[in-house]
Structure 1
Amino acid sequence: MSFYVGQDYNYLNAFIKVYADAIQKSQTRADMAIFAKQIDFILNSEIHPHHNFCNVAGVEYETLQHEPQAPGTYLYNEHMYRAARTGDLIDVVAAMTPCPWTYLEIANRFVKQGKNTDDNVFKPWIDFYADMEDDSDSILPQLFALIDREAEHYDQHHLDVVKEEFLKSCELEWEFWDQAYHQRSWHFVKPMKQYR
Structure 2
Amino acid sequence: MSLPFPIPPFALECKLFAKDAFGASFTHPFVLALAEGTLDPKVFRFYQIQDAKYLEAFSDACAILSTKVIDPDDKLWLIDAARMALVVESQLHLGYGKTLGYDASTIAQTEPTPNNLAYQNHMITTAMKGTILEGFCAIAPCPWLYVELGQHLVQKKGTIPKDHPYASWLTMYSDPGFNDYMANLLSRLQKYADLTDLDAKNRAKLTFRQSCDYEWMFWEQAWTSQVWPHR
CA drift of 1:51 comes to: 2.5
Q: Is the 8 A contact 1:19 1:39 kept in 2?
A: yes
Are the structure 2 counterparts of residues 117 and 160 from structure 1 closer, same or farther at C-alpha, using a change threshold of 3 Å?
A: same
Are the structure 2 counterparts of residues 151 and 60 from structure 1 closer, same or farther at C-alpha, using a change threshold of 3 Å?
A: closer
Q: Secondary structure at the match of 2:174?
A: helix
CA drift of 1:185 comes to: 1.3
Q: Which runs of 5+ in 2 are unaligned?
A: 1-43
CA drift of 1:58 comes to: 3.6
Aligned residue in 2 for 1:129: 173
Q: Is the 8 A contact 1:52 1:122 kept in 2?
A: no
Q: Secondary structure at the match of 2:67?
A: helix
Stretch moving more, 135-144 or 34-43:
135-144
Within-5 A mapping of 1:39-50: 39-50=82-93
Structure-1-length-normalised TM-score: 0.88
Q: Is the 8 A contact 1:6 1:66 kept in 2?
A: no
> Are residues 1:116 and 2:143 paired?
no
Which residue, 16, 35, 38 being the options, matches 2:78? 35
Aligned residue in 1 for 2:126: 83
Q: Which amino acid aligns with 2:92?
A: P
Structure-2-length-normalised TM-score: 0.76
Which residue, 62, 65, 90 being the options, matches 1:19? 62
CA drift of 1:79 comes to: 0.7
CA drift of 1:183 comes to: 0.7
> Are residues 1:6 and 2:49 paired?
yes
Within-5 A mapping of 1:139-178: 139-178=181-220
Within-5 A mapping of 1:66-105: 66-105=109-148
The one of the two structures with greater contact order (alpha-carbon pairs below 8 A, sep at least 6) is 2
CA drift of 1:61 comes to: 4.6
CA drift of 1:113 comes to: 2.0
Aligned residue in 1 for 2:41: none
Q: Which amino acid aligns with 1:53?
A: Y
Question: 2 CA distance for matches of 1:88 and 1:61?
Answer: 34
RMSD over aligned CA atoms reads 1.7
Q: Is the 8 A contact 1:52 1:125 kept in 2?
A: no
Q: Is the 8 A contact 1:2 1:64 kept in 2?
A: no
CA drift of 1:65 comes to: 2.6
Question: 1 CA distance for matches of 2:45 and 2:104?
Answer: 8
Note the alpha carbon deviations across 1:102-153, whole angstroms, 9 max, x for none: 111121122012262211121111111111xx22872211111111111112
Q: Which amino acid aligns with 2:71?
A: T
Identity over aligned pairs, percent: 26
Q: Which amino acid aligns with 2:90?
A: I
Question: 2 CA distance for matches of 1:32 and 1:137?
Answer: 20
Q: Which runs of 5+ in 1 are unaligned?
A: 191-196
4+ residue segments displaced more than 6 Å: none
Question: 2 CA distance for matches of 1:65 and 1:28?
Answer: 34
